[in-house]
Amino acid sequence: MSSTFLTGVLMPIALGIIMLGLGLSLSLADFKRVLVIPKPVFVGLFCQMILLPVVCLSIASGFGLSPELAVGLMLLSASPGGAMANLYSHLAKGDVALNITLTAVNSLLSLFTLPLIINYSLVHFMGEGRVIPLQFDKVVQVFAIVLVPVTIGMFVRARRPALAARLDKPVKALSASFLLLIIAAAVIKERAILATHVGEVGLAALTFNLLSMATGYFIPRLVRLPRRQAIAIGMEIGIHNGTLAIAIASAPTLLNNTTMAIPAAIYSLIMFFTAAGFGYLANRGDAGE
């Protein structure tokens, strides 16, 4: 089975099924609660839009990355979360409704913030500016993969709650199986890049990943948000849309620089394992309380 089939065909299908399963556990009341009490949304956006680029800039400078790799890491910091963040939050007993809300809002805002951060990074690290077109088609893809199957799952739960309850455990098990398949696909796809460049940018990517999750978890706890919402925000800003970052870096009409895609490729592999560890530790803390 080729890596192209795994990542181009099987992964979107798997993510769609995963999101359908998440929808079976959600109701409109979950989203209403997030909107009526908007504090967690604002805290999550503050961590994503303000704190994360500052953290990333410090790491890129502190590790002395080459200009192209530094821009690539900054590009990753500007990329929103996605379906994987929602899945990990679900498995870690986070507030999935908050995750889905943040994914939708972050994806829309990234139409404007992502070009600004990339242009600043190009000027700061390379002394050049470049106009990056708005990635509206990528935002549409995020909405299609995340919101459509979630909506279907919520509809099933609203009309057939008993069926949704029976499907909860098997669908969660199926989601975990798909997660393992996606990790395997990522390893297969990025194995050459990982072997060649992990020593060059791996530690910086790992540090950024760990600090992203720590920022997303401890800042909400500092402002007294519930643990479930802190887990959701930690997953949301710790699991980035690496595919989007790689596409922008590599596309001939955009940055057209494969070196800039390396940090996102390595980060995309690292985050699968660190997110699992974060979810485990968060659940241990929950059990302790």
Nearest-angstrom CA–CA distance, 187 and 140: 26
For CA atoms 178, 179, 182, 184, the dihedral sign is negative
**Is residue 138's pLDDT more than 60?**
no
Q: Token digits for 190?
A: 């990025």
Domain limits for position 106: 3-283
pLDDT at 58: 95
In a domain, 51, yes or no: yes
Considering its fold, how many domains does the chain have in total? 1
105 CB-contact burial (10 Å; exposed 0-12 / middle 13-18 / buried 19+): middle
Residue 60 lies in a domain: yes
Distances (CA, A) of 173 to 32, 33, 170, 184: 28, 27, 5, 17
Please report which residue ranges of 92-133 form alpha helices under DSSP H. 96-121
For residues 40-63, one letter each, b for 16 or more C-beta atoms within 10 angstroms of the residue's C-beta and e for the rest, the string is bbebbbebbbebbbebbbebbeeb
- Does a structural domain hold residue 289? no
Q: What is the DSSP letter of 131?
A: P
Axis-axis angle for helices 83-91, 227-238 (nearest 10):
150
pLDDT of residue 1: 41
More confident residue, 128 or 163: 163
pLDDT digits (tens, 9 = 90+) for 234-268: 999 999 877 778 777 776 666 777 788 888 888 88
CATH number at residue 108: 1.20.1530.20
What value does the mean pLDDT take over residues 188-201?
71
Residue 288: inside a domain: no
Q: Could you give the residue ranges of the DSSP H alpha helices within 223-261?
A: 227-238, 242-250
Instruction: Tell me the pTM.
Output: 0.76
Q: Per the domain annotation, does 15 fall within a domain?
A: yes
Q: Residue 112 falls within a domain, yes or no?
A: yes
